[in-house]
Amino acid sequence: MLNTFLFVVLPYAALALFAFVTPYRYFSNRLTWSAYSTQFLERKTLYWGSNSWHYGVIPVVVAHFFGIFAPDAMQSILANRQALILLESAGLGLGLFALFGCLVLIVRRLVTPFLGPVTTAGDWILLALLLFQTATGVYMGMFLRWGSQWYLHTAVPYFHSLLLFHPQAEYMSDVPMVFKLHAAGAFLIVALLPFTKLVHLLYVPFDFLKDPPILYRWRSPKAGG
Amino acid sequence: MDARAQLVMVFHLDKCLGCHTCSISCKNIWTDRRGAEYMWWNNVETKPGVGYPKKWEDQEIFKGGWVVDGNDLRLKALGKGPTLLNMFFQPNMPKLEDYYEPFDFDYGNLYGSREENDQPVAEAFSQISGRKIDVIRGGPNWDDDLSGSQLYASNDINLEQRGIVEDYGKMFMHWVPRICNHCLNPACVASCPSRAIYKRGEDGIVLVDQNVCKGWRFCTSACPYKKVYFNWDSGKAEKCIFCFPRTETGQCNACAHSCVGRIRYVGVLLYDAERVERALLRPDDQLVEAHRDVILDPGDPAVRDAARKNGVSDQWLDAAVQSPVYALVKEFGLALPLHPEFRTLPMAYYIPSLSPVLATLGDSHELMEHGVFPSVETLRAPLSFLASLLAGGNREVVAQVLGKLIALRAFLRAKNLHQPIDPEVLKKAGLDEAAALRIYRLFTIGGYDERNVIPAQQREEQDPHARSGESGFGILKKTGRGK
Ligand code: HEM
Ligand code: SF4
Ligand code: SF4
């Protein structure tokens, strides 16, 4: 019952929200599409919080997706014991880094009066959820060894079954509780993404790398270029 | 030749009275909003002084503008790769303390207070945190008129001798009103990874597209004039829009329109976009000349043809001919760019101030020119100061302009007093009588239509439907963070 809710109902609800609300927000009011930086108001602790958080979490998130979209490649890399140990320790290190960053981000919002008016309920829910997510991730990295290995045999095939609209929650039924919570947390984050400032991660700019420095816009298509 | 049109403002510093009317009219129209309380798209700062935000001119702090790197220009702050790596925390961004904590007063208390022994007061509170402020430590124009000069004025990076602001016999000051310069080589545009900031092809106005801006905030430090501001509520960057809704209909900007000293001139310049980059590779002290080289003569048929090819209408070409800006910047060479060495090719120009038209104490009598005025070298505002502010350190250029201003005064003084006029006075300064009379009109009795020659946008020549429904600062939609 719980399994069905966590691994069938929740994921589809989350993916549906993500798929429909994100474009809705984009097309209805892009004026709210921002990372809502608070650096202007407080920068000393943000330096440690934001840098540790992002440099920790982005590689870890990328690795998760790598596992989903290229399981075979990941499998062959991990077959090498040295590589496995290296990746596991790197993952744990990055996780700890992110956890530290997340804690700093939370504490800084608690203790800085300036941040009161720029902190919304959404921010608290998001930060709490991300703390939970990083904490469960780090816990598994420490106490349930070789996670990157069994991730490939449990969560990855389960994700594939989700994406093929033939959900097989069985893959996830026998895993430890903390792993279940970690997976459910991920779906909550996906569900929340279109409603919070987290939308910023969908819009990482790369175009500017090849553009000429000065951008012109002409009112009339006939003139100039 | 790639001839384009640009709307440009000129400021006559001698005439500015430091009244801040311009700042208030701008604030009332554009930045009287949550998140924008601290912004002054138009501000007026006392020079010498550290300005707004404090020390904005010091690019070792904020890393704004461009630098020459071999045969190329590059942003002083961050290249493209490092931009990507610094998105999570932008190292050079100015912070609230560099401006000031915006505050208001609790006037409600004057009416609603309980009956007590003492009179109720309107206490100051922060417009950001809402908390009571016991001691206000900064505000707009905190250092106005040299107040706190040891703290502020003496830290002006343009001053050679810092002690000068404390020496009564040598002290000087004037005001510098500043808006976004709508540069030809805008560093803000180049620094934006989202490509939200753009320069309008038709009139050169630089705008932030609020829909595209994602709040990565590189522009706030890349602009060497600190004229892009971060709205702490909406999470996006904002800047002076040159009152485009007004200029598009031929009216002049709110700041210029309300200017009490009538110090501002608004008009069209034609420039050659192809010459911009080469001009900026020249050494600092040749940059004023480089600016003048980029500006094209609107009377030249070849220029007019090239401009027409770029869609510049006849109405705009006529405006370019009548432009007071062209006269002041290029024809008479009186107006100079603010800190050209930041290499953004700013399109706001300043006529340097003579005032106070006093020599430094002691040597005033020996060095009189034309019997009345002190010579350029002994004016109170040191040449080196003005040169650092307006000419990339080139004293000669500034001396030439000041020479013209003094000659003009000598000429008109003689004329008004019906004294014989020495034609050499004007000639030596590089002017003739017709020029002097034209400048005199512009400086004094010239009316609104002489000071502002702003052609309206020609909507019928363009496609009016293409842009319908576009919005500016959350006018149609709400910005902000929600609850
Ligand atoms: C992909 C590239 C990403 C970029 C360029 C980016 C950029 C940013 C920026 C500029 C901020 C504002 C920091 C400030 O206050 O100045 C921010 C905040 C934040 N980012 Fe990211 N981010 C990225 C990815 C992510 C990812 C993958 C996550 C989490 C899964 C994430 C979670 C957050 C959170 C929770 C905050 C809010 C922190 C706070 O305000 O307390 N970001 N990000
Ligand atoms: S003054 Fe600053 S904000 Fe304005 S165009 Fe130049 S670089 Fe951009
Ligand atoms: S309104 Fe005119 S005179 Fe007054 S401060 Fe502004 S620029 Fe100077």
pLDDT tens string B148-197: 888 888 889 998 888 888 887 778 889 999 999 999 999 999 999 999 99
Tell me, in angstroms, the distance from the centre of ligand 1 to residue B482's CA.
Answer: 18
pLDDT value at residue B174 = 92
pLDDT of residue B478 exceeding 70, the answer is no
pTM of the model as a whole: 0.91
pLDDT digits (tens, 9 = 90+) for A95-128: 999 999 999 999 999 999 889 888 989 899 999 9
B143-150 contacts, C-beta under 8 A, 24 or more apart? B143/B45, B143/B46, B143/B49, B143/B50, B144/B18, B144/B46, B145/B18, B145/B46, B145/B173, B146/B46, B146/B48, B146/B49, B146/B171, B146/B173, B149/B48
A220 vs chain B: nearest CA distance in angstroms? 5
B121 vs chain A: nearest CA distance in angstroms? 24
Report how far apart, in Å, the C-alpha atoms of B341 and of each of A50, B49, B174, B392 are: 34, 19, 21, 5
> Per-residue confidence at B359, pLDDT binned at 50, 70, 90?
low
Residues of B in contact with A54 (CB under 8 A): 87-88
CA of B228, closest atom in ligand 2 = 3
Tell me, in angstroms, the distance from the centre of ligand 1 to residue B322's CA.
Answer: 51
Residues of B in contact with A114 (CB under 8 A): 96, 128-129
Q: Is B347 a pocket residue for ligand 2 (Cβ < 6 Å)?
A: no
Contact B311 A39 (CB under 8 A): no
pLDDT digits (tens, 9 = 90+) for A49-102: 999 999 999 999 999 999 888 888 888 888 888 888 888 889 999 999 999 999
Mean pLDDT of B356-378: 65
Mean pLDDT of B447-458: 89
pLDDT digits (tens, 9 = 90+) for A14-43: 999 999 999 898 888 888 888 899 999 999
Phi and psi based region of residue B482 (left: phi greater than 0; alpha: psi -120 to 50; beta: remaining) = left
pLDDT value at residue A225 = 43
> Per-residue confidence at B363, pLDDT binned at 50, 70, 90?
low
Query: In the structure encoding, which two tokens stand for residue A12, read together?
Result: 């589809």
Tell me, in angstroms, the distance from the centre of ligand 1 to residue A209's CA.
Answer: 21
> Which residue's structure tokens are 């050659």?
B272
Find out if CATH 3.40.50.150 is the number for domain A2-210. Answer: no
The whole-angstrom separation of Cα B107 and Cα A190 is 46
Q: Which of A214, A216, A217 to mutate to test the interface with B (most CBs of B within 10 A)?
A: A214
pLDDT value at residue A98 = 96
Half-sphere exposure of A69 (CA within 13 A, CB side): 6
Q: A48 — contact with chain B (CB < 8 Å)? A: no
The percent of residues above 90 in pLDDT, for chain B, comes to 69
More confident residue, B459 or B263: B263
CA of B42, closest atom in ligand 3 = 6
Contact A200 B214 (CB under 8 A): yes
Please say whether the dihedral angle defined by the alpha carbons of residues B100, B106, B110 and B115, taken in this order, is positive or negative. Answer: negative
Query: In the structure encoding, which two tokens stand for residue A118, read together?
Result: 């720029």
pLDDT value at residue B474 = 45
**Pocket-testing residue among B14, B27, B43, B44, ligand 3, by greatest number of atoms within 8 A of Cβ:** B44
The whole-angstrom separation of Cα B264 and Cα B252 is 10
ipTM of the complex: 0.89
pLDDT value at residue A73 = 87
Select the residue of B4, B90, B214 nearest A203 (Cβ to Cβ).
B214
pLDDT value at residue B358 = 66
Residues of B in contact with A118 (CB under 8 A): 232-233, 481
pLDDT of residue B470 exceeding 70, the answer is no
Which residue's C-alpha comes closest to atom 39 of ligand 1? A105
pLDDT value at residue B378 = 77
The gap from C-alpha A193 to its chain's centroid, in whole angstroms, comes to 9
Q: Is A115 a pocket residue for ligand 1 (Cβ < 6 Å)?
A: no
The whole-angstrom separation of Cα B256 and Cα B250 is 13
State the average pLDDT for chain B. 89
Contact between residue A183 and residue A159 where contact means Cβ atoms under 8 Å apart: no
pLDDT value at residue B369 = 65
What's the CA dihedral at B340, B344, B346, B351 to 10 degrees? 0
Select the residue of B190, B198, B461 nearest A217 (Cβ to Cβ).
B198
Query: In the structure encoding, which two tokens stand for residue B366, read together?
Result: 């020996």
Contact between residue B231 and residue B237 where contact means Cβ atoms under 8 Å apart: yes
Select the residue of A39, A40, A213 nearest B190 (Cβ to Cβ).
A213
> Which residue's structure tokens are 């075979």?
A72
> Per-residue confidence at A155, pLDDT binned at 50, 70, 90?
confident
The gap from C-alpha A105 to its chain's centroid, in whole angstroms, comes to 16
pLDDT digits (tens, 9 = 90+) for B222-273: 999 999 999 999 999 999 999 998 998 889 999 999 999 999 999 999 999 9
* Lowest-confidence segment of B327-336, B339-348, B461-470 by average pLDDT: B461-470
Contact between residue A134 and residue A95 where contact means Cβ atoms under 8 Å apart: yes
Q: Where are the domains of chain A?
A: 2-210
Residue B285: exposure state from Cβ atoms within 10 A (0-12, 13-18, ≥19):
middle
Residue A214 DSSP label: S
